[in-house]
Amino acid sequence: MSLHHPPSTLAALGRTWIEAWNGRDLDRVLALYEEAAVMTSDRIPALGFDASGTLRGKAALRAYWGKALGLLPKLHFSLIELFVSPDSVVVFYENERGKKICEYLRLNAAGKIVQGSANHLPH
């Protein structure tokens, strides 16, 4: 199977990702990820998880995102734009606090996210 995904498929995944978060549906979010997915964010150490800022595997992602959802009862992502490449989508959005974020999501041949990186504006 090719790593080349049609732009429409990637855009749909980006929209589904936003919808899953806005629905506070952690199972739906995690269903988009490969079992051994890797996630990097400066929020990971800030919430008391791995100091490197990188988590590996769905169990670690569930623990981290579950804690984050508990701390952010008003979480809401407003989609600004989607950018695609043959094997990735960047979801550019604004969160409920007015912060603009780019989430880089790289997919495997099966269309599951294998790598995610939350990119924030430098302070």
Mean model confidence pLDDT for the chain: 95
| 31, part of any domain | yes
How far apart are alpha carbons 16 and 28 in whole angstroms? 9
| 2, part of any domain | no
Amino acid at 10: L
CATH number of the domain enclosing 15: 3.10.450.50
| 1, part of any domain | no
Instruction: Report pLDDT digits (tens) over 18-43.
Output: 999 999 999 999 999 999 999 999 99
Q: Which residues contact 49 (CB under 8 A, 6 or more apart)?
A: 55, 60, 63, 64
Number of domains, the chain: 1
Cα Rg for the chain, rounded, in angstroms?
Answer: 14
Q: Which residue range forms the structural domain that includes residue 41? A: 7-120
Average pLDDT over residues 49-63: 96
pLDDT of residue 14 exceeding 80, the answer is: yes
pLDDT of residue 4 exceeding 90, the answer is: no
Instruction: Report pLDDT digits (tens) over 80-107.
Output: 999 999 999 999 999 999 999 999 999 9
Q: 3 with 84: CB under 8 angstroms?
A: no
Helix %, strand %, coil % for the chain, to 5?
Answer: 35, 35, 35
Tell me what pLDDT residue 2 has. 55
